Structures are given as structure tokens and as C-alpha cells.
Amino acid sequence: MMKSVLLAAALLGVFSTAALGDDRYVSRPPVVLSPDLAAPWIMQLSGGNVRPVVYQRPVIVQQQRGLFAPRAVRRAPAAQQVSAINPGVPVIRGQIEPQFLPQMVDYQTKEAPGTIVIDTNNRFLYLVMANGKARRYGVGVGKPGFEWAGVHKVTRKSEWPDWTPPSEMISREAAKGHYLPARMDGGPENPLGARAMYLGSTLYRIHGTNAPWTIGSAVSSGCIRLRNEDVVDLYERVKVGTRVIVI
């Protein structure tokens, strides 16, 4: 008899507690699950079909207001520059070795001031100045099999040039699985960069780049590339008709 009384009292206490718990809410709150989609117990509930979404932290790059940007880019906020093709993706600026930064150096030559001499072996471009001086820039040059030497003149200059890859380049890159556009408008994503100076009637140019970390390397198809800020500086100092010597 005593056991029956005790069991009845225990059951009454349990039901009373549940009733009091329900009385605390006008409506019971929803079950809140962990936001960690990789939690093992959630993987089990979902049959293993749920996969965590990994977001890569964007790299925000500060740059000076109006740094050699085309008109369309100057109207954008100056705090960061974003990709022209993938809006919202910050442009990552690469670092180069200090010797490839622009600097005045001693340079003895018989060439007249204003002449450009490009030393492809050492990856330097010299703009000859007066009194045995030259302004030196680091450059990227032709990769193995695309080296060349010769003398030309600057026949044309262009700001934020568009790019039409030669058919030979399109075929060559397609064979590697790289598919190039038939034409690309000028802008920060364009491989020709901020400025271009065309050499003679050839397909070679002195131009900027969207890959500044390649300065000092042999990576091009024969063109001479500089950082965008450096090619803008050179562009302002060079006139059409300038003699260019590539050695």
C-alpha cells in the first residue's frame, strides 16, 4: 500500500513540473540548432549531405586616392580598388624586390638623353638622362623562347589600352587549356595595365601589368612590362619617336 502511495506522489510531481514548465511560455520557443554545420550530430541528422560553407576573408588593400586609375575607377571609393570583372573582390597588390623600384643611377652610355635602353638579362629599363645618369625601372621580359633584341622607336602611346591577343597566342594557350578572350577592354584586370608604348610595327610593347609580382622575371611573350605606377611615370617622360634599344 505504501509503495503505491509513493509511486502516485512521484508521478504527480513529474506532471506538475511539466505543467509549470509549459506555463512559463505563451508559446514554446523553437529549437535552436548550432550554426556549426560541421557538427557531427547535425551531419548524422542530415544523412551526411550537409557540408560547411567556408568563407575566405577578403584582403582589403589601401591605396592612394586616384592612383593612376582610369576615369571609371576614379569615381569609385578610394579606400580600396576592386576587380573590374568580379565586383567585390579586392585587388591584391604584389611586392617586388627593392632593386626593381624606380631610382636614379649612374649610367655611362653614348646614347642621347631620352633614349630607352632595356637590359633583358638583368631585368632593367634605363631612361637615359644627362650627365651620365639614367632613371632605372625594374621590368618583366620575354620567357625562354620569346627573347629578342633590336632597335625600334615608340610609334604610339595609349592610356588603359585594350588587348587583342594575337591568333598565335590564342592557339598556343588553348593547347595548354588556357582560353583567352578575343578582345579585352582596358582596365585594372587587363594584362597591358595602365599604359602602353608600341614599338615600331611589331606586336611588342612596353606596358603595365595586372600582375606586379612578375616584375624581375622572364614571363611575357616578348613584351616589356612594368608595374602600373612605374609605366605611368615612364609614359609621362617618353614621347612618340623615342629610340628604344633592347639588348
Name the residues annotated as catalytic.
207, 223
Q: Which three cell numbers stand for residue 240?
A: 612618340
CA distance 228 to 196: 10
Q: Are 107 and 136 in contact (CB under 8 A)?
A: yes
All three cell numbers of 124, joined, read 632593367
Asked whether the beta carbons of 108 and 126 are under 8 A apart, the reply is no
Residues 169 and 182 sit within 8 Å (Cβ to Cβ): no
Q: Three-class SS of residue 163?
A: strand
Give the cell for residue 155.
610609334
CA–CA separation, 92 vs 63, rounded Å?
Answer: 11
Sequence-ordered list of residues with C-beta below 8 angstroms from that of 240, at least 6 positions apart, any chain? 154, 155, 156, 157
Q: Which residue has the cell 587587363?
A: 190
